[in-house]
Amino acid sequence: MSISDNADNTFAGDTHRRKPAVAVLLSLFCGGLGHIYCGRLGKGVALLTITTLIGPMVIAALLLGHTDWTFPTLIISFVVANLIWFYAIIDAFIIARRAPRDYQLKDYNRWYLYLLFILMIFPVGTSYALLVREGVCEAFIIPSKSMHPTIHQGDRVLVDKRAYRHTPVERGDIVVFFNPNQRERRWIKRVVALPGDVVEMKEGRLFINGEQLPRDEIDKADQNGGRIFEEKNGATSYRIFMAADDTKADLAPQDHPKTTIPPGHCFVLGDNRRKSKDSREVGPIPLADIIGRAVSVYFPRWESLK
């Protein structure tokens, strides 16, 4: 008389029909694990390997590749990973449905081996997510209107943390950096001047090295009660917002004395020039405090910031 039970902890040679629900559940935890449960060891290991390698390959591409690849690579890898995962779930379900009633349990059909796979994959995925956040890119929610009209309050912005590893900060870049007075907070502003530049503001007009930056008013009414201009700073141009003098909120000063930007620093301003705390208040920002360059608004809009 043989001894058996309903769990996959019996000896090889015992029989037990494969349950589609179990195959799907295991595949949800770990792509390919449902195939191993159904006796397709080779295919299961292949799917496990592919889904496990996608993370390191993407990170390597982002860390070593061109900075312009960051956002497209993340999107493509996310789509590919989910397609493979979805395929693994559906295929495992089909295989389990078609499995014979007298399925012969294999040596690897053990519940503790399934758990081991899950425990091995889970921290790997978590490590990939942390590595991407710390070394590749990070998402930030914008809490204020200081960058209106370019970035709106409540927008979610993707910041490329590799942007300045091999290339310098440029005028017109939108950067995220540590608040000099509150290091636990991050600010997002636009770089308008670089080391060695002389910055001055007169009646809201910005001067760099003694030359007034040209700007043209855009024929567009703004619901925030002000005027929108397109300002040209060297090779770049961007939109700025000038609030009306009768606005109830506190306004930033329109004048700023001549300031020479010291080495290793930059001068930043909010695009909402009269409603922004920036270098006019805290002084030039150390380049070492820059976390990365904002490259895209991905929610609720989808827009490149280049």
Query: How many angstroms from the chain centroid is the CA of residue 186?
Result: 15
Query: DSSP strand E in the chain: where?
Result: 137-141, 156-160, 174-178, 186-193, 198-202, 205-208, 211-212, 215-217, 226-233, 236-243, 256-260, 265-269, 285-286, 290-299, 303-304
Give me the residues paired with residue 159 across strands. 138, 294
How many other C-beta atoms are found inside a 10 Å radius of the C-beta of residue 37?
28
| 189 carries an active-site annotation | yes
| 146 carries an active-site annotation | yes
**C-alpha span between 1 and 140 (Å, rounded):** 64
Give me the residues paired with residue 207 across strands. 200, 212
Show the tokens assigned to 155. Answer: 């927008």
Taking alpha carbons only, the member of 204, 211, 205, 161 closest to residue 186 is: 161
Residues in the chain: 306
Of 145, 161, 189, 275, which residue is the catalytic one? 189
Of 146, 276, 279, 296, which residue is the catalytic one? 146
- What is the crossing angle of helices 20-29 and 111-135, to 10°? 30
Catalytic sites, residue numbers:
146, 189
